[in-house]
Structure formats: C-alpha cells, structure tokens
Structure 1
C-alpha cells in the first residue's frame, strides 16, 4: 500500500527476472530470501544495509551506501491490483503488528503515517 492509499502488487521475483539480475549485480544477493528479508524502511525507501554499493558524491568522493529502492521506483515497478477484494491486508497487518508487540501509534510512526490511517487499513476501509 502506497501513501496515496493505493494498494499495488510488488512481485520482486518478477522484477528481478525483468532486470535480468546476474551473479555480479548488486541485487543478486536479494534473490536469497534470507538476505531479502533484511530489508528496512528508511525515509520511505526500502533499504538493505547487508548489500553495499559504491557511489560517487558530488565532490567526486566515493561513498559506500546500502542498496536502496525508493518509493517512486517501487510505484513504477508495482502493478495495479485488479481485484482488490481478493487482497484484504487489514487482518494480516494487524496480526503482524500484534505479533511484533506494536501499538497502532508505534506502527504509524515506523511507517510514516498516522494511527488513524493504520486503523483504516486494519479495518479494510483503506
């Protein structure tokens, strides 16, 4: 679910196939589910600290950064869910939140939204 309220499907297996990910590519370790699951949300961006990439700063200095995919790219890679009634995420999200011992407010802070919005999601209103 994106912050515009739209539920969209991200199929990383399909995405990595489309990208023709090979052994020497940054994304290659993410084909391993164990490595993929190390993802964290950082500033609305999926970030894998376990995957390091080298980038050049404006001043020409080389920096080592985590591999990241921003929300804009994720939105472009996602597919519209044609049958939203088949995708009821509210119960799944609530179950995962409770299992993690989080309140709606805590989840809202971690995900960059509001408790009200989390409540709407959990009740399949959004």
Structure 2
C-alpha cells in the first residue's frame, strides 16, 4: 500500500511539474507607486490591449503581449483596490465628522479623499 501511495505521489508531482513547464513565463508587470501612476498605466495599457484585440487575428506573439500586459493591468487594479479602501475610510470620516460637528476631522479627511478622487476624475 505504501508503494502505491508513493507511486501516486510521484506521478502527481511529475504531472504538476510538466504542467508548470507548459505555462508561459510569468512577468511582474509595471508596478504603480501611486494612484496617479496606476491610472496612467491602466489607461495606456488598456489602449494597447484594445489595439491588439481590434485585430482580426491574434498571433502567438500577440498573445504573449496580452499576457504581459495583463500583469500591469492587475498591478494597477490592485493599487485601485488599496486606494479605494483608503478613500472609503476617509469618506466615512468626513461623514462621521460632519454628524459630530468636527470641522478639522472633516477638513483633513475631506482633503485626503478629494485628492485621491480628483486623480480618478479631474
């Protein structure tokens, strides 16, 4: 029984290794250090993706480019996600501050919220 389990484990490991070798290379994509940078990368990379998808046919090289572009888009979306969380906290602080008449709280968090929001929609 132990031999059968060992054989099954080895077969599974070999299959996993073979499958991993068939996957395309992985890339890190362009990292965004700020929301403004993420917006720029998102816009430019979406434009490039749209150009590729507008073609009648996608070559293997095109698919490789799409694969690489997807990493930059994922990085931008991760930055958006983190920044949206921060914006939501700031906006909630504005809301709560306005209810409790805390002017400095409203001003501080309102300015932080608007700075991020204006990066998205000028």
Same topology, TM > 0.5 = no
Highest relative contact order (Cα 8 Å, sep 6+), 1 or 2? 2
Higher strand share: 1
More helix by share: 2
If the TM-score is normalised by the length of the shorter chain, which range does it land in?
A: under 0.3
Which has the greater radius of gyration?
2
